[in-house]
Structure 1
Amino acid sequence: MLDEQTQAKTGIPGLDDVLCGGLSRRHVFLLEGAPGTGKTTIALQFLLDGASAGEKCLYVTLSETEEELRGTAVSHGLTIDDSLEIFELVPPESLLNADQQQSLLYSSDLELGETTKMIFEVFERHKPSRVVVDSLSEIRLLAQSSLRYRRQILALKHFFAQSGATVLLLDDMTSDVLDKTVHSVVHGVIHLEQLAPDYGSERRRLRVMKYRGRAFRGGFHDFIIRTGGVRVFPRLRAVEYKTEFTRDRVGSGVAELDRLLGGGIERGSSTLLIGPAGTGKSLFTLQFVDAAVKRGERAAVFVFDEEIGLLLDRTKALGFDFESMRDEGKLHLEQLDASEVSPGEFAQRVRDRVADFDAKTVVIDSINGYQAAMPGENALILHMHELLQYLNRQGATTFLTVAQHGLVGDMKAPVDVTYLSDTVVLLRYFEALGKVRRAISVVKKRAGKHEETIREFEISEKGLTVGAPLSAFQGVLGGVPTFLGERQALMSEAKGEERENS
């Protein structure tokens, strides 16, 4: 017999992490959720994982046919072999005939008793170590009262406990949502939910509501159902991860920009670039990506707002060959659809790139698109806090972008994440001498000193060019500055005169 102290792995990526090992053997667990939340798929994966380890497994179904179960398995590419027995429990044939349904002979007591007896008999025949009973709603309807239902669940629990099986009871919560009878009886409870946002695909999440005598990861954890089965994304807790690294400074490859930043960006820190649309926030982050790859490091770029093909085309015109970097395995480029990806899934994708791809520079472009995947602003702040803390602890240098509403003057960001970032870089449009120009300044840097100046910058076919401080202007950040100096104070005018002189 299997050791009582060992854990029965669920076979579901991420779920064993949430359960801190799996399901305790020789105990009964409840998996509850509305129809469509993924109970059957999780149950099949649980049994098939046991079957692959040489355990005998039994699936008792009161609500679905064997054909439907096998069809579900096939749709996920799962194979049901002889080590997994499916027992389709149907009422006696005479019960299907209305003429034979006499209340004296076929009372609910007899139906419930026959159902329980059949479950016990099939168990005794196969002696499985893992059992799934699907679903408790049918037993609840047969019991007709809370007291008889509880007694029946206790009987099942004691029978399975004596046999040494690990049991998963499924409940679709269709007969009585408020009935918590089973919660007090079973060893643990896993609750599944399916959410329907105003736009986009459904979101699924789970929560371990109870687990006697064992620690587990509390709170909600996102999960998805894809071909291959269910995958759970455990809620990220940055405090659990720590990597030793040297906090040296990394440069951008643009001397004036590094000078503005006080010598560069500290490794293992986060930088926020904030400004109106079109000011070049993405370009600044990609400048650091290009420099990282040229240093021999790997980088990962997650894009919410732009199509990857367009990004590659426009950056190639600026002198960046990110396509070659990607093909050489030095750069990970990923486009994300905010209406299809959950916060937990996104965090897991970033973690995978840092852990498996060894990305030392991470770009999230932009927080506006990331926010669309969040249930609310408060959740966004909490998710971002944990993700940035995790990346910082792994020694990854992170760059975020936020597009503000408006172009000049008083502008507001859709969400304030400035206090989460170690460095905040402000980009602005301003008007001067009949032209719209761009300015950059560093307004915050936790790790060291930085220039307090405001510099003009240009984006051309040569890439990013940062000029001298705009010392002859006042009110640049307001959009319409006062010109206090000479005409040569503007980098474009100065360069024009240089060309004329040459």
Structure 2
Amino acid sequence: MTATSGVSNKAKTGIVGLDNVLVGGLVRNRLYLLEGSPGTGKTTVALQFLLDGARLGERTLYITLSETDEELRDGAASHGWELDDSITIFEVIPPESLLDANQQQTLLYSSDLELGETTRQIFDAVDRVKPTRIVLDSLSEIRLLAGSSLRYRRQILALKHYFARHATTVLMLDDLTADSLDKTVHSVAHGVIRLEELAPDYGAQRRRLRVIKYRGQHFRGGHHDYTIERGGVQVFPRLVSLEHKTGFHRERLVSGIEQLDTLLGGGIEKGSSTLVLGPAGTGKSIFTLQYVLAAAARGESAAVFVFDEELGLLFERTRQLGFDLGGLRASGQLLIEQIDAAELSPGEFAHKVRALVDEHAVKTVVIDSLNGYQAAMPQENSLVLHVHELLQYLNRQGATSFLTVAQHGLVGDTQTPVDVTYLADTVILLRYFEAAGRVRRAISVVKKRAGVHEDTIREYRIGRSGLSIGSPLVGFQGVLRGIPTFVGDETELDVNGAHEPAP
């Protein structure tokens, strides 16, 4: 496929995300097919298509064979739209003689008469209104009246040629109730858009669309998530990181904790991604929030997306550690949002992140945690691809991203639910270990693409003064296994029998 020289010859659909997928909209004076099962939002998309035309002063026509005028207006009202005289609604009603059993023809099937009468009514309406945009709802009725695939194809071709002579852009709707395997219109239409609805085992339904065909035009392939809310359909185009490149000066960002910055070889590079791994309760969120505080100290804005913890509890818990998240939120430096994985699709989440980065110049992004993000994904392979594109996009915008992953198990053999360590530029590993009857926490940096880092293991504590990190644990072996062996000098132990970190 080749892209056209411009988009001035395209009719926008009235849905920003869909126009983005179609790279400008629908080429004018062509016939298109919008198909999907009942409830996928075909009528809503069709109304938005006509409303956008009416906004531009174009004459529009909605030909309905399945819904009544009242039903269409009620549906529009539910979105806050009023269908005025700029949109003509034409109901195709079979003549009364065809509904009267006493008037049925014996030598000619009534379906033949009704199909011919239906076509005549459609042609008369187009001649009378002379519209620029037409919606025909739905093809299932015409398919049933045609009876055979041959007659159905001929009827569609007749409609196509008639509409072409009148220079109209036509959107035909098909609810796939008559024959979902019939591809007759696919070969006739200039473009085909399919709407799908998925029902996960738990949570709200997920909707996605795909452009199956678009003759001679470039478009964004693959599936794109969308939602139906008051105000219409909102489409979230699949994020392609290569399309978003910006130049920025790379520099090292410090956390505000000297020992942590030393462990990381001087800090974390701007425009890089950091993955914080560890069992539940090791303080993964605290480590990422430390960089949020550091961003605020530099006068930058930060965004935090919380999947697992209730915001009120997070604010109270961190306040006791000296983190004033509420104050940062009130000042506008912190944009924090609770994410419900059961209600949000991955495409919509990526759209939220991108909107904050683009509109609020956010330079620090925290996703806590990837376990919650995974719950929004249908399968693990999709999660890795989504995370890859999202991290690459953030990196190219000069935003520094932090992700947390909760590992299964507490000590010893811990398991990671999904391996994305190869995607991150820096990987920080947090561990519990037991020493002299006490549970301790240890931190190590196992990967850093840019520059060198310490290969030591340090103990850290989380107290009322926040996060404190000690000197390297040189007297222990097996810390990462959870049950270390002390091989150092006894003078290195504190009174409780464990290595004492620096305050």
Q: Secondary structure at 1:14's aligned position in 2?
A: helix
1:301 aligns with 2:304: yes
Determine the structure 2 residue equivalent to 1:206: 209
How do 1:103-502 residues align onto structure 2 when only pairs under 5 Å count? 103-104=106-107, 107-487=110-490, 489=492
| CA pair 491-247 structure 1, distance change in 2 beyond 3 A | farther
Determine the structure 2 residue equivalent to 1:16: 19
Determine the structure 1 residue equivalent to 2:3: none
Q: Secondary structure at 2:98's aligned position in 1?
A: helix
Q: Deviation string for 1:79-122 (max 9, x for gaps)? A: 21110011111111223333333344662221111101101101
Determine the structure 2 residue equivalent to 1:40: 43
Structure 1 contact 4–25 (Cα < 8 Å) conserved: no
Whole-angstrom CA distance in 2 between matches of 1:25 and 1:166:
5
Calculate the aligned-residue CA RMSD, in Å: 1.8
Whole-angstrom CA distance in 1 between matches of 2:401 and 2:134:
46
| CA pair 246-171 structure 1, distance change in 2 beyond 3 A | same
Q: CA deviation at 1:486?
A: 3.9
Structure 1 contact 488–494 (Cα < 8 Å) conserved: no
| CA pair 290-493 structure 1, distance change in 2 beyond 3 A | farther
Structure 1 contact 27–187 (Cα < 8 Å) conserved: yes
The aligned amino acid for 1:170 is: L
Q: CA deviation at 1:487?
A: 4.9
| CA pair 111-471 structure 1, distance change in 2 beyond 3 A | same
The aligned amino acid for 1:329 is: G
Structure 2 contact 224–347 (Cα < 8 Å) conserved: yes
Q: Secondary structure at 1:117's aligned position in 2?
A: helix
| CA pair 495-180 structure 1, distance change in 2 beyond 3 A | closer
| CA pair 458-204 structure 1, distance change in 2 beyond 3 A | same
Q: Deviation string for 1:364-409 (max 9, x for gaps)? A: 0111000000010000011111111101000000000000100000
The aligned amino acid for 1:87 is: F
Whole-angstrom CA distance in 1 between matches of 2:292 and 2:96:
69
The aligned amino acid for 2:98 is: L
Q: Secondary structure at 1:456's aligned position in 2?
A: strand
Whole-angstrom CA distance in 2 between matches of 1:204 and 1:492:
60
Whole-angstrom CA distance in 1 between matches of 2:97 and 2:501:
100
Report the more deviating stretch, 147-156 or 483-492. 483-492
| CA pair 473-145 structure 1, distance change in 2 beyond 3 A | same
Whole-angstrom CA distance in 1 between matches of 2:159 and 2:493:
82
The aligned amino acid for 1:207 is: R
The aligned amino acid for 1:312 is: F
Question: What TM-score do you get using the length of structure 2 for normalisation?
Answer: 0.96
Question: What TM-score do you get using the length of structure 1 for normalisation?
Answer: 0.96
- Long gaps (5+) in structure 1: none
Structure 1 contact 4–26 (Cα < 8 Å) conserved: no
Identity among equivalent pairs (%):
69
| CA pair 411-496 structure 1, distance change in 2 beyond 3 A | closer
Structure 2 contact 493–500 (Cα < 8 Å) conserved: no
Whole-angstrom CA distance in 2 between matches of 1:64 and 1:490:
80
| CA pair 183-350 structure 1, distance change in 2 beyond 3 A | same
Q: Deviation string for 1:30-59 (max 9, x for gaps)? A: 000010111000000000011111111100
Whole-angstrom CA distance in 2 between matches of 1:488 and 1:92:
101
Q: Secondary structure at 1:439's aligned position in 2?
A: strand
Report the more deviating stretch, 320-329 or 15-24. 320-329
| CA pair 469-144 structure 1, distance change in 2 beyond 3 A | same
| CA pair 269-204 structure 1, distance change in 2 beyond 3 A | same
Structure 1 contact 5–25 (Cα < 8 Å) conserved: no
Whole-angstrom CA distance in 2 between matches of 1:4 and 1:215:
11
Whole-angstrom CA distance in 2 between matches of 1:399 and 1:492:
37
Q: CA deviation at 1:7?
A: 0.7
Q: Secondary structure at 2:360's aligned position in 1?
A: coil
Q: CA deviation at 1:328?
A: 1.1
| CA pair 103-251 structure 1, distance change in 2 beyond 3 A | farther
Q: CA deviation at 1:488?
A: 5.3
| CA pair 466-10 structure 1, distance change in 2 beyond 3 A | same
- Long gaps (5+) in structure 2: 1-5
How many pairs align? 497
Structure 1 contact 251–263 (Cα < 8 Å) conserved: yes
